[in-house]
Amino acid sequence: MGAHKVSAAYSVRIIIGFLKEEKQVEMLSGGDMLIRSLQEEGVDLIFGYPGGAALHIYDAIFKQDKVKHILVRHEQSATHAADGYTRATGRVGTVLVTSGPGATNAITGIATAYMDSIPMVVISGQVATDKIGEDAFQETDMVGVSRPIVKHSFMVKHASEIPEIIKKAYHIASTGRPGPVVVDVPKNTVDPMETFPFEYPKKLKMRSYTPAAKGHSGQIKKAVSMLLKAKRPIIYSGGGVVQGEASKLLTELAQKLGYPVTNTLMGLGAYPGNDKQFVGMLGMHGTFEANTAMHHCDLILAVGARFDDRVTNTTSKFCPNAKIIHIDIDPASISKTITADVPIVGSVDSVLTEMLDLLKESKEKPDEAALSDWWEQINEWRERHGIYTQPRYNTSGDMIMPQDVIKTLYEVTNGDAIVASDVGQHQMFAAQYYPFKSPRQWINSGGLGTMGFGLPAAMGAAFAFRDKDIVCVTGEGSIQMCIQELSTLTQYGLPVKIICLNNQALGMVKQWQDMVYDSRYSEIHYEDSLPDFVKLMEAYGHVGIRVNKKEELREKMEECFALKDRVVFMDIYVDPSEHVYPMLVAPGGSMRDMWLSKTERT
Amino acid sequence: MRRIISVLMENEPGALSRVVGLFSQRGYNIETLTVAPTEDETLSRLTVTTVGDDHKIEQITKNLNKLIDVVKLVDLTEGQHIERELMLIKVKASGAQRAEIKRCVDIFRGQIIDVTSTVYTIQITGASDKLDAFVQSVGDAAILEVVRSGVSGISRGEKVLSL
Ligand SMILES: Cc1cc2nc3c(=O)[nH]c(=O)nc-3n(C[C@H](O)[C@H](O)[C@H](O)COP(=O)(O)OP(=O)(O)OC[C@H]3O[C@@H](n4cnc5c(N)ncnc54)[C@H](O)[C@@H]3O)c2cc1C
Ligand SMILES: Cc1ncc(C[n+]2csc(CCOP(=O)(O)OP(=O)(O)O)c2C)c(N)n1
Ligand SMILES: [Mg+2]
């Protein structure tokens, strides 16, 4: 046991000693301290679900009205909703669940947040300290179960520790490389009958946690000089730019240099998707021009991106001629899968600011001639196979094409909606055909790829932005994984628009079975047992609109968004045989090896 | 390459499980592990020996550093260092064997710390390969039980791992 634990009782004595002089110190129960601490952190919403071990905490919630509790219908949704709220706002989401099944139900959402570096604080009830280890009713070792998928976790041992633990939890979750933090709270530590002096710590001292802030100036200088000498440069930016609120800086840097920009799935919106310097997403389902430019470039400026395997394809064949500058706040992200030539550990905003300052001072300019050749080449790639220069899918058939659904969605929402997505082909179509103008507009599970994420995440975003169009792009498979949240939407009057690309199959899996398993469709069909989504919506008090005629798509989409105050579910029957392209050839391919359609490859 | 990584971490419940969990989660191997509190009771010193190429070791140290409970660490094998391991070993010792084993213990600068008419219990300290060599020279047939502490290490000279 460390010093501050053994001394809990001791410090209580000191504070009580203080009490005599400063009478205003309040005596609160652990439960009240917990909620007060949340108030002090500026938490306005908690997404949660009650149960035995959390009852004292729920009673503390009942007694106040500053922290509002949102009752979801499943603990997984509580985590996804908090996550969606965070991705839309940048503020740390908060979750409250009970012990045992409540805690384990939260695991998928914690893992989802962990993989995408999303800050979150999850408070879980726990059985009383003296029962821990006895297989008590609804006892699960939450700290143990969640250990590999949290940034850190705490187990409260005494009520008096609660304020400091909560302060640390929010600090750790939101600084450095963000991530989820679990606070496990045994029932006896929040007992309403026992009170202790409450004081919320103003400052924290953590000798073992000092996340990087500024990057190494020498490295930054070197990077800028390399940037200016490049002949075929590309900026590869990711989720770190969104998380690190550095989208403006990135845009300024890219435009000052005039270099092409590609975004990861997580970085979409960090650079305006409708700008001419944007070459589209890269990676598995990235554009031909982005992937080919990566392969042929001589310099990559990687900003808040982690060289994920969905991006690099075969690492030994990755960008053979490129020098790599890698800016990341987490040293472990740098040279993990791809070795960086110039590693810069620091937060994107600070590093990009320094880079911009150096560029402004520098007499050197980018090589105009080389850059113009490079753009000419990129534009030729765009013309050849780009998905934004002309449709690369069948536009003459009778069936509704999923790509057209997303394009129509873009037009009807004027490109301004906050779009949350589930996982599958529909997710990729949304990423490709909805050019996000700004960061935090695109909310999806990239690292874990969690089906069921979309609806609760959209719901979380809807709490933060009552006046925006909030959309959930989903598939008939994914939506059924957290569909119970339709009821939460009713309770809180959240007019989320659900755009379901109904291909009557687990489309993304089907695509792989087409391509790798000779169309042996193993367990991906269920068309005869799909619910009547229109009736289902009505049962929840919402509106369902079915679309199966191409010519009705736009009109019905407009009808959907005209219903400002209603939840609307658009059940759109799309071509069930359609695949997502481009698609990197894997395993064994490089980034320039792509399928461009069912029959064409590079 | 075999490495000895020495870690100073908060003496908190659960801290050790985070270190061990990290190794299994990321597929790193642990050859030996020792841990105990230091003179400052709020800190523990943990020594782990592992094998991996430079890239793997770099990832291991980066990920260890990321653990919130880890205060500081050093890869001792990067510089001059001293490593020690303690072994307690029980061997059959009767008849002619007795003298032979006694001689062997002396050569390895070990001590016989308990005796019966048929058994010696021996204590030996040193680098792991010295302990290996002793085990080998006594031979499987004679060995009844082996207890090894795992490696502890410290830098040579003035370099220290402290706050
Ligand atoms: C079906 C499916 C298909 C997919 N296809 C693709 C695809 O085609 N293309 C694609 O790109 N992805 C794809 N993905 C997503 C992919 O799995 C990864 O999630 C994604 O590529 C990772 O994005 P990222 O590199 O931006 O990293 P993120 O996971 O967003 O990580 C952010 C990085 O930035 C760092 N960081 C965070 N904050 C800061 C800060 N303030 N300062 C500095 N650094 C910071 C972090 O340490 C981390 O290294 C797909 C996922 C699914 C489910
Ligand atoms: C929880 C979970 N289980 C399984 C998968 C594997 N998976 C990825 S996409 C997909 C199909 C999704 O189907 P649907 O939601 O209908 O989307 P579509 O691909 O048809 O657009 C599956 C099963 C997953 N990503 N998440
Ligand atoms: Mg489907």
Cα separation of B92 and B73, whole Å? 41
Cα separation of A64 and B117, whole Å? 76
Residue from the list B42, B55, B59 with its beta carbon closest to the beta carbon of A3: B42
Cα separation of A436 and A443, whole Å? 11
Cα separation of B85 and B153, whole Å? 9
- A209 in contact with chain B, both atoms CB, cutoff 8 A: yes
Q: Is the dihedral of CA A562, A430, A391, A400 positive or negative?
A: negative
Contact call for B41 and A3, based on CB within 8 A: yes
Closest by CA position to A296, among listed A246, A354, A233, A349: A233
Contact call for B66 and A144, based on CB within 8 A: no
User: Which atom of ligand 1 approaches the CA of A307 most closely?
Assistant: 25
- B17 in contact with chain A, both atoms CB, cutoff 8 A: yes
Cβ atoms of A102 and A112 closer than 8 Å? no
Give A335's contacts in chain B (Cβ within 8 Å). 55, 58
For A155, residues 6+ apart whose C-beta sits below 8 A from its C-beta are A126, A143, A184, A186, B13, B14
Cβ atoms of A152 and A181 closer than 8 Å? yes
In tens, the pLDDT along A44-62 reads 999 999 999 999 999 999 9
For residue A355, give the DSSP letter. H
- Which pLDDT score, from 0 to 100, does residue A5 have? 41
- Tokens linked to B120: 């010696």
Cα separation of B6 and A176, whole Å? 24
- Tokens linked to A244: 């690190």
Residue from the list A147, A330, A336 with its beta carbon closest to the beta carbon of B18: A147
Using alpha carbons, list the distances in angstroms from residue B36 to A503, B11, B127, B152. Answer: 59, 9, 19, 10
Q: Phi/psi zone of residue A426: left (φ > 0), alpha (ψ -120 to 50 degrees), beta?
A: alpha
- Which pLDDT score, from 0 to 100, does residue A26 have? 95
Closest by CA position to A297, among listed A313, A318, A272: A318
Q: A7 or A571: whose pLDDT is higher?
A: A571
Q: Calculate how far, in angstroms, residue A33's C-alpha sits from the geometric centre of ligand 2.
A: 42
**Side chain identity at A523, as an amino acid letter?**
E
Helices marked H in A507-595: 507-516, 533-539, 553-562
- A151 in contact with chain B, both atoms CB, cutoff 8 A: yes
Confidence of residue A6 (pLDDT cuts 50, 70, 90): very low
Is the ipTM above a cut-off of 0.90?
Answer: yes
Cα separation of A103 and A124, whole Å? 6
Burial of A512 (0-12, 13-18, 19+ CB in 10 A): middle
Q: Which residues pair with B75 in a beta bridge?
A: B5
- B123 in contact with chain A, both atoms CB, cutoff 8 A: no
How near does any CA of chain A get to the CA of B15, in Å? 10
- A210 in contact with chain B, both atoms CB, cutoff 8 A: no
Q: Which residues of A536-546 are buried (b: 16+ CB within 10 A; e: fewer)?
A: bbeebebbbbb
- Which pLDDT score, from 0 to 100, does residue B1 have? 87
Residue from the list B9, B25, B65 with its beta carbon closest to the beta carbon of A148: B25
Cβ atoms of B46 and A245 closer than 8 Å? no
**Side chain identity at A370, as an amino acid letter?**
A
Confidence of residue A20 (pLDDT cuts 50, 70, 90): low
Paired sense of beta strands B70-75 and B2-10, if any: antiparallel
Cα separation of A309 and A233, whole Å? 21
CB atoms within 10 A of CB A96: 31
CA angle A98, A101, A102 (to 5 degrees): 35
Percent of chain A whose pLDDT exceeds 90? 95
**How is chain B split into domains, by residue range?**
2-79, 82-152
Burial of A207 (0-12, 13-18, 19+ CB in 10 A): exposed
Cα separation of A272 and A437, whole Å? 4
With DSSP H G I counted as helix, E B as strand and the rest as coil, what are the percentages for chain B, rounded to 5?
Answer: 35, 40, 30
Residue A22 has pLDDT above 90, yes or no: no
Contact call for B41 and A336, based on CB within 8 A: no
Residue nearest to atom 12 of ligand 1 (CA): A265
Paired sense of beta strands A323-328 and A299-303, if any: parallel
Cβ atoms of A194 and A30 closer than 8 Å? yes
Cα separation of B48 and B4, whole Å? 6
Residue A93 has pLDDT above 50, yes or no: yes
Residue whose pair of structure tokens reads 């579910």 in the numeric block: A569
How near does any CA of chain B get to the CA of A10, in Å? 16
Cα separation of A358 and A364, whole Å? 10
Residue A490 has pLDDT above 60, yes or no: yes
Give A172's contacts in chain B (Cβ within 8 Å). 68
- Which pLDDT score, from 0 to 100, does residue A10 have? 45
How near does any CA of chain A get to the CA of B10, in Å? 7
Cα separation of A510 and A519, whole Å? 8
Q: Which of A478, A480, A578, A583 to mutate to test the pocket of ligand 2 (most atoms within 8 A of CB)?
A: A478
Cα separation of A165 and A157, whole Å? 10
Residue from the list B42, B59, B68 with its beta carbon closest to the beta carbon of A152: B68
CA A269 to chain centre: 13
Beta-carbon pairs below 8 A across chains A and B: 47
- Tokens linked to A117: 């570096």
Domains of chain A with bracketed CATH:
28-198 (3.40.50.970), 217-385 (3.40.50.1220), 402-580 (3.40.50.970)
Residue A3 has pLDDT above 60, yes or no: no
For the residues of A479-511, what is the DSSP string, one character each? GGGSGGGHHHHHHHT--PEEEEEE-SB-HHHHH
In tens, the pLDDT along A444-470 reads 999 999 999 999 999 999 999 999 999
- Which among A151, A182, A208 is the top mutation candidate for probing chain B, defined by the most B β-carbons within 10 Å of its own β-carbon? A208
Residue from the list A144, A207, A330 with its beta carbon closest to the beta carbon of B163: A207
In tens, the pLDDT along B127-149 reads 999 999 999 999 999 999 999 99
Residue nearest to atom 1 of ligand 2 (CA): A451
Residue of B nearest to A7 (CA): B42
Give B55's contacts in chain A (Cβ within 8 Å). 335
Please name the residues between 35 and 74 in chain B that touch chain A, using a CB distance below 8 Å: 41-42, 55, 58-59, 62-63, 65-66, 68-71
Cα separation of A190 and A183, whole Å? 13
| Average pLDDT for chain A | 96
Cα separation of A564 and A553, whole Å? 18
Residue A24 has pLDDT above 80, yes or no: no
Q: Calculate how far, in angstroms, residue A185's C-alpha sits from the geometric centre of ligand 2.
A: 34
**CATH hierarchy code of domain B82-152:** 3.30.70.1150
Give B57's contacts in chain A (Cβ within 8 Å). none
3-class secondary structure, A281: strand
- Which pLDDT score, from 0 to 100, does residue A238 have? 98
> Do you find a cis peptide bond into A587, omega within 30 degrees of 0?
yes
Longest dimension (CA), chain A: 83
CATH topology of domain B2-79: Alpha-Beta Plaits (3.30.70)
- Which among B24, B26, B62 is the top mutation candidate for probing chain A, defined by the most A β-carbons within 10 Å of its own β-carbon? B62
- Tokens linked to B150: 């795992």
How near does any CA of chain B get to the CA of A358, in Å? 29
**Side chain identity at A119, as an amino acid letter?**
P
Residue from the list B14, B21, B65 with its beta carbon closest to the beta carbon of A148: B21
Percent of chain A whose pLDDT exceeds 70? 96
How near does any CA of chain A get to the CA of B149, in Å? 23
With DSSP H G I counted as helix, E B as strand and the rest as coil, what are the percentages for chain A, rounded to 5?
Answer: 45, 15, 40
Closest by CA position to A432, among listed A451, A457, A414, A407: A407
Q: Which residues pair with A278 in a beta bridge?
A: A261
- A330 in contact with chain B, both atoms CB, cutoff 8 A: yes
What is the phi/psi pair of residue A586, to 5°? -145, 150
Task: List ligand 2's pocket residues with C-beta within 6 A.
Answer: A 422-426, 449-452, 475-478, 501, 503, 505-509
- B95 in contact with chain A, both atoms CB, cutoff 8 A: no
Task: List ligand 1's pocket residues with C-beta within 6 A.
Answer: A 116-117, 177, 238-240, 243-244, 264-267, 281-286, 304-306, 308, 310-311, 328-330, 333, 347-348, 423, 427-428, 446-447, 449, 508
Cα separation of A208 and B9, whole Å? 8
Side by side, the strands of the sheet bearing A261-263 are A278-281, A261-263, A233-237, A299-303, A323-328, A342-345
Ligand located closest to A425 CA: 2
- Tokens linked to A198: 């409450």
Residue A23 has pLDDT above 70, yes or no: no
Mean pLDDT by 10 residues, chain B (163 residues): 96 95 96 97 97 96 97 97 98 93 97 97 98 96 97 97 93
Cα separation of A283 and A589, whole Å? 12
Three-state helix/strand/coil letters over A33-102: HHHHHHHHCCCCEEEECCCHHHHHHHHHHHCCCCCEEEECCCHHHHHHHHHHHHHHHCCCEEEEECCCHH
Catalytic positions of A, written as ranges: 75, 137-138, 187, 508
Residue of B nearest to A2 (CA): B42
Residue of B nearest to A207 (CA): B71
Q: Which of A406, A423, A522, A572 to mutate to test the pocket of ligand 2 (most atoms within 8 A of CB)?
A: A423
Q: Phi/psi zone of residue B76: left (φ > 0), alpha (ψ -120 to 50 degrees), beta?
A: alpha
Closest by CA position to A567, among listed A501, A506, A483, A503: A483
In tens, the pLDDT along A374-424 reads 999 999 999 999 999 999 999 999 999 999 999 999 999 999 999 999 999
Cα separation of A583 and A288, whole Å? 9
Same fold, B2-79 and B82-152: yes
